[in-house]
Each structure stands twice: as structure tokens, then as C-alpha cells.
Amino acid sequence: MLNSRGFDLWADGYDASVGLSDEDGSYPFAGYRKVLGEIYGMIMGKPGSTVLDLGFGTATLTSKLYEGGHEIYGQDFSARMAEIAREKMPDAHLFEGDMAEGLADEILANRYDFIVATYSFHHLTDERKISLIRELLGLLKDDGMILIGDVAFEKRSEMETCRIRAGDEWDSDEIYITAEELQKEFPQMTFESMSYCAGLVTIKAPDDIRIDVIGEGDELWEDAATYVQSVPWSAGPYLANMMRTGQFKSWERVITARRDGEYLGFCNFTEYDEMPAENGFSPFIGFVFVDEKHRGHRISQKMIDAACRYAKSMGYSAIYLMSSEHGLYEKYGFEKTGEYRTVFDTVDQLFRKSLI
């Protein structure tokens, strides 16, 4: 498998060599044009979309979308390919970096109608594929989708058949998608075979998440407290005890996320959280938690948005949050205002979001 330097050297002849492989129906690019054509058609069906292309290469696909009026963001680990892509798309937002190691801050700060990866995911381990998809789901707009076109198979047995057919051409360093295995992690995904060695994975963010803003005495209060008590986070039992011992003011709230009755996460809306009252900041979002297996679906943002709406309905013009995280809550519209000593005699960052 080529590294970034290898792709730099291959960049100028990449399109031609891929085209030859596709035309003669040989591994690994049989079905390549069909994959790109399917993705192109889906995106062009939504004019003016914002598109993120991970591993954009020489911009074979995204340059056509760019010409079609779409706003293009992208990341690729080949400097030479990025240079070629910039010549085709001078106003696109293109960044260099290996997505196996993370995404550029500028990419993480935006939301996308489509996130595309064509013939780039096979450079990632299976574990990184899963963690990256979860991260990407959190970058989608409400009706957005992830489109992954690559060497991919419905079942592992089909991959083995392809390996035998390819013979010495088979690249054992590349790690291909097996749809039936990936679907265990993302049940909402679909897979369409494009050739004996190519397929298209489509993943949409779940849209059936229910957000409840509940107060003490609500019929869900004890049920929520039981869930909060059970989470593998030391702050959970602390919050559950507050819920069960009457420590909430009448207007303070716990916000929960559920799907089909299963709890996914929670936060609370409170007067001061861990900030001393004398500092004068209020109200706060605190105890933000999402179960690990459900992360990547913008659940935190949905709960935070619900807290912001509730605060605004009460007449507040701003809301606060304390956290040690860097670069997370900024994505939700918060700005760091400083560092403050907490009621627990620790120092933490204070974030503010305007509600006006």
C-alpha cells in the first residue's frame, strides 16, 4: 500500500492508470466510474450542497461537483494531489493530512450535506473506519449522508473469491470493507455492489432520536435517574443522587436522549453547575454524557440545542458550560471566556454561547 510520498509520485499518472483498470474490468478499479457516477448523481440531485471529500486525490469527482456549484471541502495526505486539485478548484477548502490520524480543525468546524470517500477508506484499519464514521456522522447536517465508494464486498466470502481471481495483483496491505460486518456497527447503512470488487456504502444519521427536557416530578424522572446511576462515569451516580434527594430547583432540568425507549445520553440545565455563584455566571449546561456505542450521531448537540431553547424560553440571553475539552464545544457555538476555579477547588474552562 502506497504512503503519501508514493501517491505524490503517482499523482500525475493516477487518473490514466485508474481508467485503464476500470476499462478492462480488472482489480482493483473495476466499477470505479460506476461508483463515481452514482455518487455524482446523488449529490447533483441536491443543488448547492456542501460536500466534504476525504481522500480527494486529483479531484476527479469533486472538480465536477465544484463546477456544478457545490461548496467543496476536502482532506488528502498527498501534497502533489492536493496541488493538482487546487488547480482544478481554486476556491475549494482543501487541507493536507492523513485522515487515519485525524481531521483538520477547519473541517471539524463545519457541517456537510454529503461526506464522500472514494477509494480512500481501504487505507484505514477496521477500527479506524468505525471510529471515523462515528465522528463523521456528527458532522452531517440533519438530512446529510456519508457515501463511501471503494473496493468493497457484501460478504467476506466474496472478498476471498476476488483475492483468488486477482492472484499476484492482490494488495494484502489494503483493508477492504465487508458490508455485513460494518453493518453490525451501523445498522442504518446500505450497500450496493458496483462490480465484483467495488461497492457503495451509504450511511445516514439516525433521525429517530427523542430529546426530553424533564423536571422533578416528571413521569420519566426516576427512570432517567436509574439510567444516569448506571453509566460508566463517576459523575453519573453523583447526578443521580442529586435527582433523588431533591437538589433540583423547580426550573432546573435534566435532558435525556432516547431511541426506541433506550437511553443514549443526558445532560442537565442548572443555575450554577460547578461555578461559584459569586462569579455571576448563569445558567449552565452540565454533566454532558453520551454512551460510547452511540457517539457520532450528534446526540450531544441535540441535547445542548434543547437546553439552549429552554434557556431562551426563560428569557436568558446566554448560556454557559464548563469543560476541560478543547475544540469540542466551539463546534456547538460556544466561545471560551477564560479559566475559573470551581466549587471543587479545581480549575476549568468556562464557555459561553449567546442565545440572541
pLDDT given at position 207: 66
Q: At 335, which CATH number?
A: 3.40.630.30
> Tens-of-pLDDT digits for all 356 residues of the chain?
434 333 333 234 334 444 444 467 889 989 988 999 999 999 999 999 999 999 999 999 999 999 999 999 999 999 998 999 999 999 999 999 999 999 998 998 888 999 999 999 999 999 999 999 988 987 888 789 999 999 999 999 999 999 999 999 999 999 999 999 999 888 889 999 999 999 999 998 766 788 899 999 998 999 999 999 999 999 999 999 999 999 999 999 999 999 888 999 999 999 999 999 999 999 999 999 999 988 877 899 999 999 999 999 999 999 999 999 998 899 899 999 999 999 999 999 999 999 98
Out of 204, 236, 253, a domain closes at 204
**Do 42 and 61 contact (CB within 8 A), yes or no?**
no
Q: 301-304 long-range contacts, Cβ below 8 Å, gap at least 24? A: 301/138, 301/331, 301/332, 302/209, 302/211, 302/257, 303/211, 303/255, 303/256, 303/257, 303/265, 303/266, 303/267, 304/267, 304/332
228 with 198, same domain? Answer: no
Instruction: Identify which of 280, 266, 290 has the alpha carbon closest to the alpha carbon of residue 338.
Output: 280
For the chain, give the longest Cα–Cα distance: 74
221 with 192, same domain? Answer: no
**Do 295 and 134 contact (CB within 8 A), yes or no?**
yes
245 with 102, same domain? Answer: no
pLDDT given at position 141: 84
62 with 106, same domain? Answer: yes
Out of 152, 172, 204, a domain closes at 204
Out of 179, 204, 229, a domain closes at 204
Instruction: For residues 135 and 140, give the distance between their C-alpha atoms in angstroms, rounded to a whole number.
Output: 10
pLDDT given at position 1: 45
182 with 242, same domain? Answer: no
219 with 256, same domain? Answer: yes
180 with 214, same domain? Answer: no
251 with 157, same domain? Answer: no
225 with 350, same domain? Answer: yes
pLDDT given at position 206: 64
Range of the domain at 104: 4-204
Q: At 28, which CATH number?
A: 3.40.50.150
348 with 224, same domain? Answer: yes
199 with 215, same domain? Answer: no
Q: Taking the chain, what is the end-to-end CA distance rounded to the nearest angstrom?
A: 51
pLDDT given at position 261: 85
Number of domain units in the chain:
2
145 with 269, same domain? Answer: no
**Do 154 and 199 contact (CB within 8 A), yes or no?**
yes
